[in-house]
Amino acid sequence: MLESLKKMFSGNEGDLPVHTGSKPDISREKSAELYEKAKTFFPGGVNSPVRAFKSVYGTPLFIQKGDGCYVWDADGNQFIDFCGSWGPLILGHNHPKIREKVTEVMQNGMSFGAPTALENELAELIIKNNKFVEKIRFTSSGTEAVMSAIRLARGYTGKDKIIKFEGCYHGHSDSLLVKAGSGLVTFGETSSQGVPKSFALETIVIPLNDKDAIKAAFEQFKDEVAAVIIEGIPANNGLLIQDQDYVEFLQQICKDNKALLIFDEVITGFRLGFEGAAAHYGVKPDIVTYGKIIGGGLPVGMYGASAEIMGHISPDGGVYQAGTLSGNPVAMAAGIAQLTELSRSGFYKDLNAKTTEFAESIQRFATARNYKFKVFHVGSIFWFAFTDKEAIKTAEDIDPQSMDKFKVLHRELLNRGIYIGPSGYEVGFVSAAHTKIELEKAKRAILEGLDVVFRNK
């Protein structure tokens, strides 16, 4: 008993919160008004579905301004933001270095559809600091980058099928809007209307963390698989951290079957460091995709590989891919400014240490109170899971019922000035702009929120 009591209070004193119970809802008058209007313009009132707050309480908040780790909505509510525009804002909102660089470059015009020196500059920053890519191509979104990487893999190998994992998101291109059917190895089923069944037949969907499933897939579709695509660390459906051994196995089985291994590092690229999850695991992907952080808040995506593989892209090779606004100078400028900041020594070490402390102190509290709650984290990514499992590595391990609890936590956090993505399947991001003060404030709000969730106040 004594031992367990000791253990219970072995965290920081600050881990023991006051139970304030539910807080009154923040005012959303202006946001609600804007949302009503937006619904007359856009399906669901939004230009990307998750923004619609369908799985949490209330109407979406319309954001007016961001600065550092803070955002303000149309009603003037202030929040400490852990969404960071879904990942890109690793330096926080409206970073002066990015704003200055963008403003400077904008003076010379917005787009030329011709090469500029800025593309070279960003490419050099990336390639010099990344042993996994020799040549790259910029796109305007992560979706485009991944779609092009798939085409490249097919063009390079002369094979059509791709293997993807249940619980990984790779943007909204046809081949990848496919979910698992029933059975261990199946053709995928489309996860969106409008995707032809014949496309889904080219995508095999298997569970993560299951060597037998991928072995079976390669046996069944021998010599037909162009590529295996996985998120560097799956972070779009919870945070599904894969074992070292499994990731190495993927590399080997791809090699054995002359299939390419694609790491979709649109979230993890420049989040876990300049070399993303590939360096985290020490596993070299054949093709890698980046997005989000690379554009400093403006629309940039990228795919890259060895010079040999990239030689198959037009105009050098026969795999066609293009973009009117690809390598846009203003977007390049934002990317250059952001990556320059990230390349400073100690940047990731500090950010990751801060995140670890934040996540672990929340965990200590939850554990001491026996709450069915885990904070999974890697680098500066964290995910709140209402579970008692020690690890969650597959989509199936996530209990859909637990999202009811997230919904309550989300409301309590908004009401306490903390903004996180409006879905329990989404991860949160700590930025360099979050200081100890805001993290402490957020932690307290989260602990109070958990008390509300678990005590039904």
- Taking CB under 6 A as the criterion, which residues in 360-419 touch ligand PLP? none
DSSP code of 324? T
Exposure string over 95-109, b if 16+ CB within 10 A, otherwise e: beebeebbeebeeee
Q: How far is the CB of 206 from ligand PLP (least distance, A)?
A: 17
Residue 141 lies near ligand PLP (rule: CB under 6 A): yes
- Residues in contact with 99: Cβ distance below 8 Å, sequence separation at least 6, in sequence order: none
Task: Tell me the residue number closest to ligand PLP, measured at CB.
Answer: 142
* Long-range pairs, 183-191, Cβ under 8 A, ≥24: 184/212, 184/213, 184/216, 185/213, 185/216, 185/217, 185/220, 188/164
Which residue among 169, 303, 348, 425 is the active-site one? 169
Q: What's the rounded Cα separation, in Å, for the pair 94 and 88?
A: 12
Residue 443 lies near ligand PLP (rule: CB under 6 A): no
Q: How far is CA 284 from CA 188, 255, 366, in A?
A: 27, 11, 37
Q: What's the rounded Cα separation, in Å, for the pair 432 and 354?
A: 9
Nearer to ligand PLP, 206 or 439 (CB): 206
Q: How far is the CB of 146 from ligand PLP (least distance, A)?
A: 5
DSSP code of 379? T
Residue 291 lies near ligand PLP (rule: CB under 6 A): yes
Q: How far is the CB of 153 from ligand PLP (least distance, A)?
A: 15
Q: How far is the CB of 2 from ligand PLP (least distance, A)?
A: 47
* Binds ligand PLP (CB under 6 A): choice among 15, 119, 174, 231: 231
Burial class (CB in 10 A: 0-12, 13-18, 19+), 32: middle
Q: What's the rounded Cα separation, in Å, for the pair 258 and 223?
A: 8
Nearer to ligand PLP, 228 or 362 (CB): 228
Nearer to ligand PLP, 141 or 338 (CB): 141
Residue 418: strand pairing partners: 80
Maximum separation of any 2 CA atoms in the chain, in Å: 72
Stretch in the footprint of ligand PLP (CB under 6 A) among 101-109, 122-130, 141-149, 252-260: 141-149
374 assigned to active site:
no
**185: its two tokens:** 């190895």
Question: Measuring CA to CA, which residue among 1, 89, 19 is closest to residue 447?
Answer: 19
179 assigned to active site:
no
Number of chain residues interacting with ligand PLP (CB under 6 A): 14
Residue 267 lies near ligand PLP (rule: CB under 6 A): yes
- Taking CB under 6 A as the criterion, which residues in 233-252 touch ligand PLP? 236
Q: What's the rounded Cα separation, in Å, for the pair 213 and 215?
A: 5
Stretch in the footprint of ligand PLP (CB under 6 A) among 55-63, 149-157, 252-260, 264-272: 264-272
Bridge-based pairing of strands 374-378 and 381-385 is antiparallel
Bridge-based pairing of strands 287-290 and 260-264 is parallel
Nearer to ligand PLP, 26 or 153 (CB): 153
Stretch in the footprint of ligand PLP (CB under 6 A) among 120-128, 151-159, 259-267, 305-313: 259-267
Nearer to ligand PLP, 265 or 438 (CB): 265
169 assigned to active site:
yes
Stretch in the footprint of ligand PLP (CB under 6 A) among 164-172, 196-204, 343-351, 384-392: 164-172
CA angle 163, 398, 200 (to 5 degrees): 25
* Binds ligand PLP (CB under 6 A): choice among 45, 66, 142, 167: 142
Contact between 377 and 356 under an 8 Å Cβ cutoff? The reply is yes
**17: its two tokens:** 């919160």
Stretch in the footprint of ligand PLP (CB under 6 A) among 261-269, 306-314, 400-408, 425-433: 261-269
Which residue among 292, 354, 374, 393 is the active-site one? 292
Q: How far is the CB of 93 from ligand PLP (least distance, A)?
A: 18
* Binds ligand PLP (CB under 6 A): choice among 81, 166, 174, 264: 264
Q: How far is the CB of 236 from ligand PLP (least distance, A)?
A: 5
The Cβ of residue 17 has, within 10 Å, a number of other Cβ atoms equal to: 17
Residue 146 lies near ligand PLP (rule: CB under 6 A): yes
- Taking CB under 6 A as the criterion, which residues in 297-316 touch ligand PLP? 301
Residue 73: strand pairing partners: 63
Q: How far is the CB of 169 from ligand PLP (least distance, A)?
A: 6
Stretch in the footprint of ligand PLP (CB under 6 A) among 4-12, 135-143, 148-156, 324-332: 135-143
Residues labelled catalytic: 169, 264, 292
**Contact positions vs ligand PLP (CB under 6 A):** 141-143, 146, 169-171, 231, 236, 264, 266-267, 291, 301
